Amino acid sequence: MREQTLSGDHQEIVRLDNACKVYQMGAAEVRALAGITVAFKRGDFWAIMGPSGSGKSTMMNILGCLDRLTSGSYYFEGNDVSRLNDDALSEMRLRHLGFIFQSFNLIPQLTVQRNIELPLYYLGWDALQSAQRAKELAEQVALADRLHHRPSELSGGEMQRVAIARALANDPQVIFADEPTGNLDSATGAQIMEVLTKLNEEGKTIIMVTHEPDIAAYAGNRLHMIDGNIDRIEQGSHETD
Amino acid sequence: MRQTRITRNILLGIENLLLHKLRSFLTMLGVVFGVGSVVAMLSVGEGASKEALSQIRKLGSTNIIVTSIKSAEEEATATTHSHISVYGLTYEDHRRMSEGFSNIRQTAPVKLMRKDSRLRERAIELRVVGTTPTWFDLVRRDIIAGRILLPQDQKNLAPVAVLTEFGARKLLATESVIGQTIRVGGDEFEVIGIVKSESGQAGNIQIPDQEIDAYIPIEVARQYFGDIFTKVTSGSFDREMVELNQIIVQVDETDHVEATAAGIERMLERFHKKKDYIVSVPLALLKQAEATKRTFNIVLGSIAGISLLVGGIGIMNIMLASVTERTREIGIRRAIGAKRRQIVFQFLIETVVLSTTGGIIGLGVGVLIPLAITYFSGMMTLLTLSGVLLPLLISMTIGIIFGLYPAMRAAKVDPIVALRHE
């Protein structure tokens, strides 16, 4: 096990400091994160791996500002966000983060365009600008001709591309992808991973949770977790530990 | 900016409701019926009470009306043929009233009789009212043409008559009737004026004038026709001696009306052996009618409240189901960055749109019902602005009250759990 000590480095975008997350399951306490210290750099592509129950989803929720630590600290771009209230966390997600999920999580009654526009709606963009931005994003994921379709009319791969477009709408600092290929066949999964790789090459920081080594291989860095702890970290294609 | 946000929220709400048209329609049905019945009941109630109040007001709020009636004993003995019933108010009663009470401003004695009359070849049965000039002041009738009775007509025993507009029309004469001679019973009268006619009942008081009246000086009536009347009813004669059929009394202030009425009652009790008179106070009736209206409004309000409550619960029920059904959507919105209050707002708007739409439809239904009632039954209905705005406001409020809990439930959804929700 290895600790990274990169505090003060402004290349660092997220950093956990002795992060603990404890769930109360009836009488038993479950330590989903057992004091993790780790930092990811801007522009990195990380895969968080581990068996189920290893704490990788909790890690993702914490980093994605969907959940709060029981103890320890979480710094986002050097700012402590571990004590923020619910509204401030919502604001963090709205302005700085983007999400891609295994089951796509598009809103079924909204068209592709309206799904992509969703973050812009909460950002307070006007309708015209939002429509323009949605169109550009749809083009970016090769879905310009699907703007007025509903999610139910799309294939799995197309739905996930809509989700990616939506995650990009607010021009986030970090994109979180939770098993993005879990519901897709391997060929479509590969296409999605190519889109994500391309985004990373263009400078986006991506943090992805997966248990598939093939998928994790797309990421430059891999963090293996076990029982709420970091098992090992593989940085770059050359570095193993 | 804020404005467009709200508009977009409302549009989003409408869009979501349109996704389930039948469900939304059924959900708002409770409010539709609630508001519809409130509007309908309010306008029917408002119309009915306005009708009653305006008729009572016609009698004058400072007036006291004393009417002669046949007492119960008299009614029982009046079966024999040659019997004369003697009852009712007397000239003496009138004198006592006009002189003995300091609060009484003026009085009008009224002598009523039915007479066959004719104007040239046109014949009609007139109700002849023998009275004094004060009568016109007390019942506040507008002069349409000519003049009303004057004190000198009284003094000179002038055979003059004032007709009502309706009566004049019946006699096929309008302004040109003035100056013409009308035959009443066996005597001739000169028509000197026409007044506006009013008719109807108010409470249990007969309004002093009817549609086809001829007003003549009371002294003339007394001299020409006397105090004894013969009524022919199915072969038998009823002979009655009544001096005055009615005395209308005007009191100086509304505050003194009830005390004066009681005083008149006491005075009459002293001089009449039998109770052959009724003292009616329009003001008391007015107060009673107003109290009745208040009670009516409270009852209507409660019924309306209950129906709207039921409607509101229906909406809440469906919205709670909708929140459960849309847990995932809520989770997605939260993950993307929607704050709790934005979720609350979204669901609240949806409920308010639902209840207000129901309110507007209900208003339409509620406006049609009184129109139909008026059309088919001729009953007066009145749609007041508050009778329209209040139910609308209530339906919106219901949306807020019954939407708040489901909306809070929606906002409490944990995005992490919601996103895994299948």
Concatenated DSSP letters of A188-202: HHHHHHHHHHHHHHT
**Last residue of one domain, picked from the residues B196, B226, B252:** B252
Measured distance CA(A78)–CA(B242) in Å, rounded: 109
- Mean pLDDT across chain A, nearest whole number? 91
Amino acid identity, position B254: T
Report if residue B227 sits inside a domain: yes
Burial of A185 (0-12, 13-18, 19+ CB in 10 A): exposed
**How far is residue A183's CA from residue B415's CA, in Å, rounded to a whole number?**
20
For B5, which residue in chain A has the nearest alpha carbon?
Answer: A124
* φ, ψ of residue A68 in degrees (nearest 5): -115, 150
Q: Are residues B42 and B153 in the same domain?
A: no
HSE-CB at B36 with a 13 A cutoff on CA atoms is: 16
Residues in chain B closer than 8 A to A108 (CB atoms)? 329
Task: Give pLDDT, residue B199.
Answer: 55
Clarify whether residues B187 and B331 are in a common domain: no
Residue B268 lies in a domain: no
Question: Which among A93, A32, A223 has a CA at the least distance from the CA of B333?
Answer: A93
Pair (B390, B416) in one structural domain: yes
Which pLDDT score is estimated for A97? 96
- Domain end call among B252, B273, B305: B252
First to last CA, chain A: 8
The H-assigned helical ranges of B238-383 are: 257-271, 282-325, 327-336, 340-377
HSE at residue A192, side-chain half, CA atoms within 13 A, is 32
Between A118, A126, A166, which is nearest B4 by CB? A126
Give the residue from chain B lying closest to A58, CA to CA. B416
User: Which of the pair, A99 or B72, is modelled with greater confidence?
Assistant: A99
- Are both B298 and B404 inside the same structural domain? yes
Return the structure tokens found at B78: 């009046």
Low-confidence winner among A113-117, A131-135, A235-239, B136-140 (lowest mean pLDDT)? A235-239
Q: How many CB atoms lie within 10 A of CB B262?
A: 12
Identify the pLDDT of residue A227. Answer: 93
Whether residue B273 lies inside any domain: the answer is: no
Answer for the pair A90, B341: CB distance below 8 angstroms, yes or no.
no
Q: Please give the residue that has the higher pLDDT: either B160 or B164.
A: B160
CA distance B225 to B209: 20
Which chain A residues contact residue B8 at CB under 8 A?
121, 127
C-alpha B201/C-alpha B282 separation (Å) is 12
| CB interface of A with B, residues 154-193, below 8 Å | 166, 170
- Specify the 3-state DSSP secondary structure of A84: coil
Indicate if B142 and B248 belong to the same structural domain.
yes
Residues in chain A: 241
Residues of B in Cβ contact (< 8 Å) with A104: none
SS (H, E, C) B311-334: HHHHHHHHHHHHHHHCHHHHHHHH
The Cα–Cα gap between A238 and A220 comes to 10
Tally of CA atoms within 13 A in the half-sphere of A202 that contains its CB: 13
User: CATH 3.40.50.720: does it fit domain A41-55+88-235?
Assistant: no
Considering chain B, what percentage of its residues have pLDDT values greater than 70?
Answer: 90
The stretch A75-98 carries a mean pLDDT of 94
* Beta carbons of A105 and B16 less than 8 Å apart: no
Helix, coil or strand: residue B123? strand
Residue B172: pLDDT band by 50, 70, 90 thresholds?
Answer: low
Query: Which residues from B are below 8 Å from A124, CB to CB?
Result: 1, 5
> Taking 70 as the threshold, does the pLDDT of residue B200 lie above it?
no
Which one of A68, A69, A121 makes the best mutation probe of the B interface by having the most chain B beta carbons within 10 Å? A121
Which residue in the set A87, A109, A119 is minimally distant from B336, CB to CB?
A119
Ranges A161-170, B14-23, B273-282, B413-422: which has the least confidence: B413-422
Taking phi over 0 as left and psi of -120 to 50 as alpha, with beta for the rest, B60 belongs to left
Is residue A151 within 8 Å of residue A106, measured between CB atoms?
Answer: yes
Closest CA of chain B from A145, distance in Å:
23
pLDDT at B232: 64
Read off the tokens for B158.
């002038």
- Per-residue pLDDT band for A95 (boundaries 50, 70, 90) equals very high
- Residue A161 burial (C-beta neighbours within 10 Å; 0-12, 13-18, 19+): buried
pLDDT single digits (tens) B73-128 = 666 655 555 567 788 888 888 888 888 888 888 898 988 888 888 877 778 888 88
B271 pLDDT more than 50: yes
Q: Which residues of A touch B20 (CB under 8 A)?
A: none
At residue B234, the pLDDT reads 62
For residue A162, give every residue at least 6 positions away whose Cβ sits within 8 Å of its Cβ, in sequence order, or none. A104, A106, A112, A115, A116, A138, A141, A143, A146, A151, A154
Q: Report the alpha-carbon distance of residue B128 to residue B161 in Å, rounded.
A: 9
Number of domains making up chain B: 2
- Residue B295 clears pLDDT 50, i.e. is over it: yes
Q: Which long-range contacts (CB under 8 A, 24 or more apart) does A163-166 make?
A: A163/A100, A163/A101, A163/A104, A163/A105, A163/A106, A164/A100, A164/A192, A164/A195, A164/A196, A164/A199, A165/A116, A165/A134, A165/A137, A165/A138, A165/A140, A165/A141, A166/A98, A166/A106, A166/A115, A166/A116, A166/A118, A166/A119, A166/A137, A166/B336
The domain of B326 spans 2-55+288-420
Q: For residues B67 and B50, state if they share a domain.
A: no
Q: How far apart are CA B207 and CA B111, in angstroms?
A: 14
Same domain, B90 and B199: yes
Q: How far apart are CA B273 and CA A137, in angstroms?
A: 104
Is residue B57 exposed (0-12), middle (13-18) or buried (19+ Cβ within 10 Å)? Answer: middle
pLDDT score recorded for residue A224: 95
pLDDT band with cut points at 50, 70 and 90 for residue A191: very high
Interface test with B, best of A89, A105, A168, A171 (most B CBs within 10 A): A105
- The answer to whether residue B13 sits within a structural domain is yes
Most confident of the ranges B243-257, B347-361, B367-381: B347-361
Report the range of poorest mean pLDDT among A41-55, B44-58, B286-300, B369-383: B44-58
Mean pLDDT taken over chain B: 83
Residue in chain B closest to A62 (alpha carbons) equals B416
Element (H, E) at A142: none
Secondary structure class of A8 (helix, strand, coil): coil
Of residues A92 and B241, more confidently modeled: A92
Cβ pair A109:B19 closer than 8 A: yes
Burial class (CB in 10 A: 0-12, 13-18, 19+), B186: exposed
Of B19, B331, B338, the CB nearest to A90: B338
Residues B152 and B240 placed together within one structural domain of the fold: yes
Q: Residues A11-58: pLDDT tens digits?
A: 889 999 999 999 888 888 889 999 999 999 999 999 999 998 899 999
Cα B209 vs. chain centroid, distance in angstroms? 19
B24 and B81 in one domain? no
